[in-house]
Amino acid sequence: MARAGLSAERLTLAGAELADEVGFDEVTVSALARRFDVKVASLYSHVRNSQDLRERIALLALAELADRGSAALAGRAGKDALTALANVYRDYAREHPGRYAAAQLRLSPEAAAASAGARHAELTRAVLRGYRLEGPDQTHAVRLMGSLFHGYVTLELGGGFSHSAPDTQETWERVLDALDALLRNWPEAGAGA
């Protein structure tokens, strides 16, 4: 019999909170059972195993990020949209480091298809429409933006920039200025060869 008040949704949210507190890699069904002061077996009627729990947290994080991104982009274009979307990822990672890490989890093809991942791609493509990038160039730019946002945020959260000046906010703004300039002046294919 399931313990009163426990559900897959409640366990997912508690797992997400736990991830933010102790790190996504530390989230297991056992750790969650300790949090609720229940036996591990009582959670298996709600989640299959630790991988299922981790995948549920990843799906939650992707949906939260997509919702924030949609709200931030409303009515914006060009550099304003680029900055808004970049700040969504950075702010979310700072507020929810465990959930942000969960959003990077490689999902099964079925879970990925049902996730908000497609919304993330569409949000990024919406930003790029303001730069008039299409076809393969748009795909290259989507990958560049994802790499830059995730790389910067990951290094910053890990303390990689904490030992030198200038302040990371100043660097972030300059990086976004540089990305905007690159996107406005996207090189033609084969131009560097």
In this prediction, residue 188 carries a pLDDT of: 86
- pTM higher than the cut 0.85: yes
- CA distance linking residue 99 with residue 61, whole number of Å: 5
pLDDT digits (tens, 9 = 90+) for 148-163: 999 999 999 999 998 8
In the chain, alpha helices (H):
8-22, 29-36, 50-73, 78-95, 97-102, 109-114, 117-129, 135-157, 168-184
pLDDT digits (tens, 9 = 90+) for 15-31: 999 999 999 999 999 99
The average pLDDT across 54-62 equals: 96
- CA distance linking residue 39 with residue 3, whole number of Å: 10
In this prediction, residue 152 carries a pLDDT of: 97
Is the pLDDT score of 193 beyond 60?
no
User: Which among 33, 46, 35, 37 has a CA at the least distance from the CA of 6?
Assistant: 46
Kindly state the tokens that stand for 127: 């930003």
3-class SS letters over 100-134 = HHHCCCCCCHHHHHHCCHHHHHHHHHHHHHCCCCC
Is the pLDDT score of 1 beyond 50?
no
Cα angle, residue 99 at apex, residues 93 and 104 outer, rounded to 5°: 85
Is the pLDDT score of 3 beyond 60?
no
Q: Please provide the average confidence, as pLDDT, over all residues in the chain.
A: 93
Is the pLDDT score of 79 beyond 80?
yes
Give the distance from CA 63 to its chain's centroid.
Answer: 9
User: Predicted confidence band at 4 (pLDDT cuts at 50, 70, 90)?
Assistant: low
